[in-house]
Amino acid sequence: MTEEAINLSLGAKVSDVSQEYCKVVAHYLPERYCDCRRIPMAAYLQAIDTAVKIQGDSLWGFNTGKAITSAEYGLLGYLVETSDTVGCAIDWLLQFDKTVANIGDIQFTVCDSSATLVWRPYFHNRHAVLRNMTAWVATVRRISGQALTPSEMHFSDAFTHEQLRLMEVWFNCPVKDKQTSNRIEFPVSLLAVKLITRNEVIQAHLLKSINEFASGGCAGEHQWFSQLQLVLHSCDLHTLTLSVLAQHLNVSTRTLQRKLTAQKLSFSQLKDKERLRRFGQFGYVMRKQELSDLLGYKEQASLNRAVRRWYGMSPSAYLNETKNQI
């Protein structure tokens, strides 16, 4: 995927990650980002693809996720590590993930004896997803000092039987591919597990730092665009108009137009970005007609034309080509 296509699918200047998080692919980043504190998501994803190709590791994201450290999460990682329990750590993650790195929608639910963490990224890159999902499990195991085991792992991408077997051995639970979302299911009892890195003094200082950052203005833009993206994810694109989107966001059409202009976006561009995001996330697991409907097209021919405009090839050709590159 070209940098232009990645930027189109991400669609916001807030889509970036910390320099620490990019250390694992530092050698593959463009030189102009060497001294940057924040790295554009497009550059990070391209560096991952380069690393995978050069190292020839079909489970690169999984293998690097197992070795991730709290330093790679920045302040958020240390705040999570100084929590009292796994449940408190998840609370911090949910509260501050949009401030630290606005790269996807995280939803956490508890039902009876089971808890579920669902992550829907704003991009499609199987190794970035593998790295994050694996890192969450690896981090909880490390800071709890226990070999905690999920009940089940779900991935939206497809994997070979051997790849699934290797992941099931490490996660110590069933791993399912070709799912509608990336999710971790685990017993709710794990939320009460005590962490071995509890440090109230460090936590107080980190919390103060993050709150100061959040009050500096950047968080407001992050939160607004995050809310906009979450609404877009759940909208019926067949009936979505500027006024309908404004109603969902509880703002006037004029206010929404002004905010989009500030982001250098038109409504048609915003809608196109959401279609591209849905194609990247669900193109590998849905039939073409279902995918066309999900993207708000009345005919499959419209989907074909859109994909040719994005990537210069048909949907089948693009999906086959990118799948074979892994």
pLDDT digits 0-9 by tens, 289-326: 888 988 999 899 999 999 999 999 999 998 888 765 54
Nearest Cα neighbor of 172 from 125, 129, 138 is 138
Mean pLDDT, all residues of the chain: 79
pTM (2 decimals)?
A: 0.60
| Burial group, residue 236, by CB count within 10 angstroms (0-12, 13-18, 19+) | exposed
Indicate the burial class of 198 (C-beta count within 10 angstroms; 0-12, 13-18, 19 or more). middle
The number of angstroms, rounded, from the C-alpha of 216 to the middle of its chain's C-alpha atoms is: 24
Strands 175-176 and 152-154: parallel
Q: pLDDT tens digits, residue range 184-206?
A: 999 998 888 887 755 454 445 44
Domains and CATH numbers, the chain: 58-214 (no CATH), 235-324 (1.10.10.60)
| Whole-number pLDDT of residue 325 | 52
Helix axes 253-262 and 267-282, enclosed angle (nearest 10): 70
Sorting pLDDT into bands at 50, 70 and 90, what band is 176?
A: very high
- At 8 the pLDDT is 43
pLDDT of 180 strictly over 60: yes
CA distance 229 to 220: 14
Look at residue 100 and tell me whether its pLDDT is greater than 50.
no
Residues of the chain above pLDDT 90, percent:
30
